[in-house]
Amino acid sequence: MLSTLLRPKKRRANKSPFSSPFNSSPLAARNDYDQIDDNEDADDYDEDDGGEDDLETPLLPIFSAAHLDKLPLYNITHSCRILIVQKCETTLTWDQLRSPQVSQFLVKPIQSQIRKDHFNRATICALIANCLQFQKEAQQDAGNAGVSKTRAMVSELLAIRLLKDFNLRELIDALSYDFNPLEGFDAPEGGAQLRQYNRSARISTVEIAIRAQAKRFLAHPLVVQQLEAIWAGSIVFHSAADNLHRKPPTPPPTRGRSGYGTIANNSDLQPASTTNSQPTLRRSVTLYNPKDASLFKLSRLRVPRYRQLFSTISFAIMLGLFLAVLVDRSTEITPLEIIFWFWSAGYMLDELVGFSEQGFGLYIMSVWNAFDLGILLCFFAYYVLRLYGILIPAARKHYTAHMAYDVLASTAVLLFPRAFNVLDHYKYFSQLLIAFRLMVQDMIAILVLIVIACSGFFVAFTLSFSEEKAEASKVAYAL
């Protein structure tokens, strides 16, 4: 033992890319392992000193992806729901919930119980999921709408108050990690379809908060700080494919042990074998390390700030090609038009990928995405007309080409305003966009009322009051 104390410690040969310089809080660490132990059989941990082999063996990160996948989010969500339903049975406003009296006797007891029994990195996700569910119940059950809205606000308030209990590394995982909503749910026999659904239904806390429109939670300084770090690229989303250009390090030999750190061989938290493992399609979150930078690391192109810059440049080039094609208006297909086709097809493909990743409900929340849908439809109609003009006889080719260019010219109504999306990150312009979206919604509702009110006049002027039969198109235009 004395020789062990006197012998200088060796540095670990390799450091996991998922490790962090920030220590985990003891409360979160203890509750994370308690939740896993309650959900599964207790794992046996080796508590010996280790020795030289332990010093040379790279430690498995305490909160690896395998560990976060085993947090029973389904059970935590329902446990938090039961606590909130039992304590909250009246209608209150947000200011009343934050008052000292209500906070002392309603919010703090629930917060203490959650911190004691259910506190881990999946707790914030469970509370925001309950917020979304209570909002849905408020819309479905009008009799208990007030109570359900209050419970949704309580869930959001609890999530806000628990944010400060995480350190930076834990908060990144709690907000950005793609959790499995059904983890901990006892699947019935033949649950192959359920397991397939689990792989595709992963979602992060921030995405749930956007769907729940938890504006107070998203506006919290800690959440804003994380979102700004994601925008700047300090927090990186990547998959295993991002490291394929690097040769994986060879693990040092061990004497009779294949475990990592203090995790025994029979633990389920060990990493899978690299020979038989399949590349994951799931996101993982890490802190950006400039020392690991590489020209071949294309994952930096997914950083929102850089992606916005390249998208703006690409859109400007497409806009220039758009104007050149309209000025030319050639009946035959020219090389310039082919270049515009390929460039606009890349723009359409990028929007389709964003649509498939986010889903329609989240995608349409952006004003510019609504513009993109209109641009895609106009471009598609233009492509169809131009290709149709190649197949028809020469007598009608001129007419079809002019019609295609008219459709393309009408795209400018959406294309030129779309170029000003670079101003999104200015506070004043963002407020104008929010007001514009509300105005558009009101205008659509008013137009529906106008159509309903004028439908009778349309029939009367078309069929009854005119001596000669009036054309329906002229009557509709006059109205």
DSSP readout, 435-464?
Answer: HHHHHHHHHHHHHHHHHHHHHHHHHHHHHT
- pLDDT in single tens digits along all 479 residues of the chain: 434 444 444 444 444 433 444 445 555 555 554 554 554 444 443 443 344 333 333 333 444 566 777 788 888 999 999 999 998 888 999 999 999 888 888 899 999 999 888 888 889 999 999 999 999 999 998 888 899 999 999 999 999 999 998 888 888 888 888 888 787 777 666 555 555 555 557 888 888 999 888 999 999 999 999 888 888 888 776 554 455 545 455 555 544 444 333 333 444 444 444 334 444 445 566 666 666 666 666 666 677 888 888 888 999 999 999 999 999 888 888 899 999 999 999 988 888 887 777 777 777 777 888 888 899 999 999 999 998 888 887 778 888 888 999 999 999 999 998 888 888 777 788 788 888 888 988 999 999 999 898 888 888 888 776 556 667 778 887 77
| Same domain (yes/no): 192, 341 | no
For residue 9, being part of any structural domain is answered with no
For residue 379, being part of any structural domain is answered with yes
- Residue after which a domain boundary falls, among 374, 393, 417: 417
For residue 397, being part of any structural domain is answered with yes
Q: For 51, left (φ over 0), alpha (ψ -120 to 50), or beta?
A: left
For residue 462, being part of any structural domain is answered with yes
Q: What is the DSSP letter of 286?
A: E
| Same domain (yes/no): 410, 444 | no
| Same domain (yes/no): 350, 468 | no
Which structural domain, as residue segments, surrounds residue 371? 311-417
| Same domain (yes/no): 377, 351 | yes
For residue 450, being part of any structural domain is answered with yes
| Same domain (yes/no): 243, 364 | no
Q: What is the rounded CA–CA span in Å between residue 195 and residue 424?
A: 39
| Same domain (yes/no): 91, 220 | yes
| Same domain (yes/no): 436, 459 | yes
Q: Which amino acid, one-letter code, is at 263?
A: I
- Residue after which a domain boundary falls, among 250, 267, 290: 250
For residue 258, being part of any structural domain is answered with no
Environment class of 438 (CB within 10 Å of its CB; exposed 0-12, middle 13-18, buried 19+): exposed
| Same domain (yes/no): 92, 180 | yes
At residue 88, φ and ψ (nearest 5 deg) are: -110, 110
| Same domain (yes/no): 396, 459 | no
| Same domain (yes/no): 99, 229 | yes
> Are the beta carbons of 249 and 255 closer than 8 angstroms?
no
For residue 148, being part of any structural domain is answered with yes
| Same domain (yes/no): 356, 395 | yes
| Same domain (yes/no): 182, 49 | yes
At residue 287, φ and ψ (nearest 5 deg) are: -85, 135
Q: Torsion angle, CA of 214/220/225/231, rounded to 10 degrees?
A: 30
Q: What is the rounded CA–CA span in Å between residue 201 and residue 129?
A: 13
> Are the beta carbons of 103 and 97 closer than 8 angstroms?
yes
Among candidates 269, 132, 276, which has minimal Cα distance to 203? 132
For residue 297, being part of any structural domain is answered with no
- Residue after which a domain boundary falls, among 417, 442, 466: 417
As given in the structure block, the two tokens for residue 332 are 């035959």
What is the domain count for the chain?
3
- End-to-end CA distance of the chain: give it in Å, rounded: 97
